[in-house]
Chain A
């Protein structure tokens, strides 16, 4: 069964450092998403991406964040200068349609720890 993969599974970084989280969505999917979940809190939407551009982003997704689809398979989330409060689980998801009715499949997540 096709699945979304994410690397690394755990990333530890120092405050102020840049991190890149990587995702490989399901191959025939066209819509890509990043969500995050701070420990003990709910899953929060960060950004959606379609046709090589951002479709929608949340208030959390400020200038420190960027996304990119550098090739036909990877989808990345970059945090330029990490803060302590960026520590969270980051989930990538993909879907074949983006209307909100189609199932989004989530990757296993990257646990980001900012020290």
Chain B
């Protein structure tokens, strides 16, 4: 089983749509959770951390369900500039700062 698994993409949505990404992780000792964004052939950039109580940053909402080992990211009112690959990332308590990445879900927002 993959350590971090994401919805296969790509997601093609019109501007203004709401889109949701799902992610599951296999290690119950996973400690911290993040969503990163990666533009084509560029470095990953932190979009937001994911907290147990859920958190929101503008149009972006992240949720964590530890019991189900499930993480989600919701993007409301999507913009053309949201087009990118979204990476679900976890760390494991016994493995220091190592980031474990999912394979990513590509989002394409069309006019």
Contacts and interface: CB of A to CB of B under 8 A. Distances in A.
Interface of A: 31, 33, 35, 41-45, 48, 55-56, 58, 89, 91, 93, 95, 97-109, 111
Interface of B: 31-32, 38, 41-46, 49, 87, 91-93, 95-104
B95 A100 contact: yes
B6 to A, nearest CB: 9
A35 B89 CA distance: 13
8 contacts: A41-B103, A43-B99, A48-B98, A89-B41, A100-B96, A100-B98, A108-B42, A109-B43
A95 to B, nearest CB: 6
Nearest to B97: A98
Contacts of A35: 99
A106 B44 contact: yes
B102 A42 contact: yes
Nearest to A102: B97
Contact of B97 (A42, A104, A105, A106): A104
Contact of B44 (A41, A91, A98): A91
Contacts of A99: 96-97
B106 to A, nearest CB: 11
Name the residue in B31, B87, B98 with the highest tally of chain A Cβ atoms < 10 Å from its Cβ. Answer: B98
Contacts of B99: 33, 35, 43, 45, 93, 100, 104
Contacts of B103: 41-42
A111 B40 CA distance: 13
Contacts of A45: 98-100
Contacts of A42: 87, 101-104
B44 A56 contact: no
